[in-house]
Amino acid sequence: MTDSELRQIITDVLGGDIESFSRIVQAYQKPIYYYCYHMLSSTSEAEDCAQEVFLKLFHNLTSYDPNKSLEAWLYKIAYHQCVDILRRRKLTRYLPFFYQRDKDNRHVDLEIEATYFNEDVQKAMSRLSAEERNLLILRCVEDKSYDDIADILHQKTASLRKKYERTTAKFRKYFAEEKGESLNDNGAGRSGSKRAYSKRTAT
């Protein structure tokens, strides 16, 4: 869908052609659903969340700025909706994480496994904040550019790159601890014991 087509659809919807809104849903439903699923790790919650995202978009369409990205606005709505759900269930469930290679952070490949239901990955992800998980998911799962993420999060690209570096470093540390390893100076894992980690978390 081109920007001009999207602007025309929004104009039609605001003019009373409610049925035209379904074209927006069809264009963005799948990526928004997958984003919600990666954040929530629940099919049913992701479906409900995605529906709520589009409902909020529809009810707030009059405030949409046509000079800004609708996709970025959708992801922002989806993020806040997911955070609300996570708060309601108080983060009692681990979040799965689908890692894909990042050209700017190849060293992350040393520790993050491309296994969807890897328990250690889930536990490591659960120790990150919702904001940190959001950044990793948008960059690694959704394959968004830093410029796209900057639009979604309303942050500067340069600061996002630094935040991404810090977040991946934290993830590598947590992932190594969950695997019973420690990180050496190069960021690679060393075999070790979970005893020290268990002791720290128990205090």
The domain spans of the chain are 3-88, 103-202
Beta strand spans in the chain (E) = 181-183, 189-191
Q: How confident is the model at residue 129 (pLDDT cuts 50, 70, 90)?
A: confident
Mean pLDDT of the chain: 76
For residue 177, the model assigns a pLDDT of 87
CATH number of 3-88: 1.10.1740.10
Tell me if domain 3-88 and domain 103-202 are identical in fold: no
| CATH class, range 103-202 | mainly alpha
Range 89-109 average pLDDT: 43
Q: How confident is the model at residue 123 (pLDDT cuts 50, 70, 90)?
A: confident
Residue 96 reports pLDDT greater than 80 = no
For residue 75, the model assigns a pLDDT of 92
For residue 51, the model assigns a pLDDT of 94
Range 127-136 average pLDDT: 85
For residue 182, the model assigns a pLDDT of 62
Sequence-distant (6+) residues with CB within 8 A of 44 are: none
CA 18-22-28 angle, 5° bins? 135
Range 46-56 average pLDDT: 94
- The identity of residue 196, as a single letter, is A
For residue 203, the model assigns a pLDDT of 39
Angstrom distance (rounded) from CA 41 to CA 57:
23
- Three-state secondary structure call for residue 182: strand
For residue 50, the model assigns a pLDDT of 95
User: What are 160-191's pLDDT values in tens digits?
Assistant: 999 998 988 888 888 888 888 765 544 555 55
Residue 92 reports pLDDT greater than 80 = no
